[in-house]
Amino acid sequence: MVMGLCLFALGVAAALTIYRMAAGPTMLDRVIAMDVLVAIVVCGLGVEAAFNRHATTLPILVVLSLVGFVGSVSVARFAARDRT
Protein backbone atom coordinates (compact mmCIF):
# COMPACT_ATOMS: atom_id res chain seq x y z
CA MET A 1 0.00 0.00 0.00
CA VAL A 2 2.64 2.52 1.08
CA MET A 3 4.99 1.15 -1.56
CA GLY A 4 2.34 1.65 -4.23
CA LEU A 5 1.75 5.21 -3.04
CA CYS A 6 5.50 5.97 -3.09
CA LEU A 7 5.99 4.48 -6.54
CA PHE A 8 2.91 6.31 -7.87
CA ALA A 9 4.25 9.63 -6.57
CA LEU A 10 7.67 8.92 -8.06
CA GLY A 11 6.11 7.88 -11.37
CA VAL A 12 4.09 11.08 -11.66
CA ALA A 13 7.19 13.06 -10.67
CA ALA A 14 9.25 11.32 -13.35
CA ALA A 15 6.57 11.99 -15.98
CA LEU A 16 6.41 15.72 -15.15
CA THR A 17 10.21 15.91 -15.13
CA ILE A 18 10.42 14.23 -18.53
CA TYR A 19 7.87 16.73 -19.84
CA ARG A 20 10.10 19.57 -18.64
CA MET A 21 13.09 17.86 -20.23
CA ALA A 22 11.28 17.66 -23.56
CA ALA A 23 9.78 21.15 -23.40
CA GLY A 24 12.94 23.02 -22.51
CA PRO A 25 12.94 25.88 -23.37
CA THR A 26 16.70 26.25 -22.81
CA MET A 27 19.36 23.58 -22.59
CA LEU A 28 19.90 24.43 -18.91
CA ASP A 29 16.28 23.59 -18.06
CA ARG A 30 16.82 20.19 -19.65
CA VAL A 31 20.00 19.70 -17.66
CA ILE A 32 18.22 20.53 -14.39
CA ALA A 33 15.40 18.14 -15.30
CA MET A 34 17.99 15.44 -16.02
CA ASP A 35 19.53 15.89 -12.57
CA VAL A 36 16.11 15.65 -10.97
CA LEU A 37 15.33 12.53 -13.01
CA VAL A 38 18.51 10.86 -11.73
CA ALA A 39 17.47 11.70 -8.16
CA ILE A 40 14.00 10.28 -8.81
CA VAL A 41 15.48 7.05 -10.22
CA VAL A 42 17.68 6.72 -7.13
CA CYS A 43 14.61 7.28 -4.93
CA GLY A 44 12.62 4.69 -6.86
CA LEU A 45 15.32 2.03 -6.60
CA GLY A 46 15.64 2.81 -2.87
CA VAL A 47 11.90 2.50 -2.31
CA GLU A 48 11.79 -0.83 -4.10
CA ALA A 49 14.79 -2.16 -2.16
CA ALA A 50 13.32 -1.00 1.14
CA PHE A 51 9.89 -2.55 0.74
CA ASN A 52 11.13 -5.85 -0.68
CA ARG A 53 13.98 -5.95 1.88
CA HIS A 54 16.83 -6.77 -0.47
CA ALA A 55 20.13 -4.95 -1.01
CA THR A 56 20.72 -6.00 -4.62
CA THR A 57 20.26 -2.54 -6.10
CA LEU A 58 22.29 -0.58 -3.55
CA PRO A 59 25.50 -0.57 -5.70
CA ILE A 60 23.46 1.05 -8.49
CA LEU A 61 22.63 3.86 -6.08
CA VAL A 62 26.33 4.40 -5.40
CA VAL A 63 27.12 4.56 -9.11
CA LEU A 64 24.25 6.95 -9.89
CA SER A 65 25.14 9.30 -7.06
CA LEU A 66 28.77 9.33 -8.21
CA VAL A 67 28.41 9.86 -11.96
CA GLY A 68 25.00 11.56 -12.14
CA PHE A 69 26.52 15.03 -12.13
CA VAL A 70 29.03 14.50 -14.95
CA GLY A 71 26.52 15.03 -17.74
CA SER A 72 25.09 18.23 -16.32
CA VAL A 73 28.54 19.71 -15.62
CA SER A 74 29.74 19.06 -19.15
CA VAL A 75 26.57 20.40 -20.78
CA ALA A 76 26.76 23.49 -18.55
CA ARG A 77 30.35 24.06 -19.63
CA PHE A 78 29.42 23.96 -23.30
CA ALA A 79 26.36 26.17 -22.74
CA ALA A 80 28.52 28.79 -21.01
CA ARG A 81 31.03 28.66 -23.83
CA ASP A 82 28.46 29.47 -26.51
CA ARG A 83 28.45 33.15 -25.71
CA THR A 84 32.14 33.92 -25.21
Partner 1 sequence: MSAGGIADAVGAAALLGGALLSLLASIGLLRFPDVLSRMHAATKPQVLGLLLVLLGVGLRLRSSIDVGTLLVVAVFQMLTTPVAAHMVGRAAYRTGNVSGDALAFDELTDGLAGDGPGDPSARMR
Chain residues in the site for partner 1 (CB under 8 A): 2, 5-7, 9-10, 12-17, 19-20, 26, 28-29, 31-33, 35-36, 39-40, 42-43, 46-47, 49-51, 53, 55, 58-59, 61-62, 65-66, 68-69, 72-73, 76-77, 79-84
Residue 35 beta carbon to partner 1: minimum distance, rounded to whole angstroms: 6
Output the CA torsion 3→60→72→17 (10° steps).
Answer: -20
CA distance 74 to 41: 21
Residue 44 beta carbon to partner 1: minimum distance, rounded to whole angstroms: 8
Residue 20 beta carbon to partner 1: minimum distance, rounded to whole angstroms: 5
**Helix 58-81 crosses helix 27-52 at what angle (to 10 degrees)?**
180
Q: Is 49 in contact with 57 (CB distance < 8 Å)?
A: yes
